[in-house]
């Protein structure tokens, strides 16, 4: 039996670090990684289960063979939910599953996700009860004409190949259901003497009797000094979902400039009912301007920034896939296989962390940093689900790179099978 024990986790993206009991904590995340039961449904007549840890792929051994298994696999996990947890709203968040996933809890259908590259999140509050709950996830990597990729010299590994987590959130919360993102979107316009920020916070209001809600947004520099603040209020009675937009200005900003100056600001968001704080979330951001010129290449903060090729190391054997494509050398399931990776010199992300190119986002994707934050390549190119078209992505990357990918391809493509771009 798999027993879930909820432990506080330091969330770089989802929330400020908290370390108080469940009853007093605003939000919690715990990873469901150990002691899953798994059955490969190659032969439905054989009811053979094995215990696995997630992330997991069933193609760890046959993935280098042309006739590797493409079909269904079933995962089961027993959630032990305490009465204290029942006072919260409960969500399941999958960072990815390849390529199609059907989620059930206690025999009831929770939701379905199509596409092997995006995070997805479902609320399970209506389906869960105090005590033991059976979570079942049926995953398929069968070839289907409505799921990309359709062709290519690579393996489409099957399984829950990214972490799964349980989120405990307040009744009124910053929603995790907006494309499985953090629910906070930061966009920026940066000049030499000021940076104008627009911070959109998406709120899911589960309170029955509340007349007004407010969102306060603070921006702190790397030393912890408050440099900008703004508060917005809205009538909330009868409103299930609300968007709050706070506009802030940072004077004389320290610009993020790769290894030369990996400077980060912290955006701290509070959801409030009067003076009562209902939910909080912290997100880090590097203030910078960028563009791509077909002749001059990548321009960071008004200056040319060199692009160079980097080859990532292989991942551990048999522990799922860091990337779904590729013929892993030596029979190992690697992070990247035989795909080309391209990052600006220094391989640091806009969050000041070393990039790990392990999260494909589209036929031309973007990188992910060591905090697990990732950016958006082509939205919706690999599938949709009931909550939206993409997984987690800070919105500051959403619009600019979508239009810059084509000129970037012309700048750096040199005969590689695929090109990925890191987000400097």
Dump pLDDT digits (tens) for 303-341: 998 877 554 433 334 444 444 433 332 222 223 333 333
Indicate the burial class of 404 (C-beta count within 10 angstroms; 0-12, 13-18, 19 or more): middle
Indicate the pairing of strand 297-300 with strand 303-304: antiparallel
d(CA 252, CA 265): 13
d(CA 52, CA 367): 28
d(CA 182, CA 13): 7
Check residue 208 and give its pLDDT: 84
Per-residue model confidence as pLDDT tens digits over 20-71: 234 457 899 999 999 999 999 886 667 889 999 999 999 999 988 889 999 9
Say what the pTM is. 0.71
In this prediction, residue 150 has a pLDDT band, given cuts at 50, 70 and 90, of confident
Check residue 267 and give its pLDDT: 97
d(CA 260, CA 225): 22
């Amino acid at each position: 039996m798999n027993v879930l024990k909820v432990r506080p986790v330091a969330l770089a993206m989802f929330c400020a670090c908290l370390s108080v009991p469940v009853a007093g904590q605003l939000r919690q995340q715990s990873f469901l990684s150990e002691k899953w039961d798994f059955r490969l449904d190659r032969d439905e007549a054989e009811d053979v289960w094995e215990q696995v840890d997630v992330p997991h792929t069933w193609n760890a051994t046959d993935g280098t063979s042309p006739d590797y298994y493409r079909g269904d696999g079933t995962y089961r996990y027993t959630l032990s939910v305490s009465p204290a947890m029942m006072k919260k709203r409960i969500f399941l968040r999958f960072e990815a599953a390849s390529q199609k996933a059907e989620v059930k809890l206690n025999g009831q259908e929770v939701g379905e996700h199509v596409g092997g590259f995006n995070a997805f999140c479902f609320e399970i509050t209506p389906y869960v009860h105090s005590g033991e709950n059976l979570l079942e996830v049926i995953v398929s990597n069968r070839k289907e004409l409505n799921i990309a990729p359709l062709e290519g010299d690579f393996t489409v590994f099957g399984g829950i190949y990214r972490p799964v987590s349980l989120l405990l959130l307040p009744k009124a919360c910053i929603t995790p259901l907006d494309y499985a993102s953090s629910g906070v979107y930061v966009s920026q316009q940066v000049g030499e003497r000021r940076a104008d920020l627009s911070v959109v916070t998406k709120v899911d209001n589960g309170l029955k009797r509340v007349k007004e809600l407010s969102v306060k947004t603070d921006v702190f520099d790397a030393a912890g000094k408050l440099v900008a603040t703004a508060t917005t209020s809205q009538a909330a009675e009868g409103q299930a979902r609300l968007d709050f937009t706070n506009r802030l200005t940072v004077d004389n900003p320290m610009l993020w400039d790769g290894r030369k100056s990996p400077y980060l600001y912290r955006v701290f968001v509070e959801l409030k009912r009067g003076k009562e704080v209902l939910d909080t979330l912290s997100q880090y951001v590097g203030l910078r301007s960028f563009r791509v010129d077909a002749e001059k290449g990548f321009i960071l903060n008004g200056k040319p920034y060199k692009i160079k090729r980097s080859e990532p190391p292989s991942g551990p054997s048999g522990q799922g896939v860091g990337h779904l494509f590729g013929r892993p050398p030596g029979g190992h399931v690697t992070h990247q296989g035989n795909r080309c990776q391209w990052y600006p010199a220094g391989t640091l992300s806009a969050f000041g962390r070393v990039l790990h190119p392990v999260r494909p986002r589209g036929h031309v994707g973007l990188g992910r940093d060591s905090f697990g934050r990732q950016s958006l390549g082509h939205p919706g190119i690999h599938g949709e689900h009931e909550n939206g078209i993409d997984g987690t992505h800070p919105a500051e990357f959403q619009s600019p790179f979508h239009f810059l990918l084509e000129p970037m391809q012309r700048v750096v493509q040199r005969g590689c099978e695929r090109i990925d771009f890191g987000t400097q």
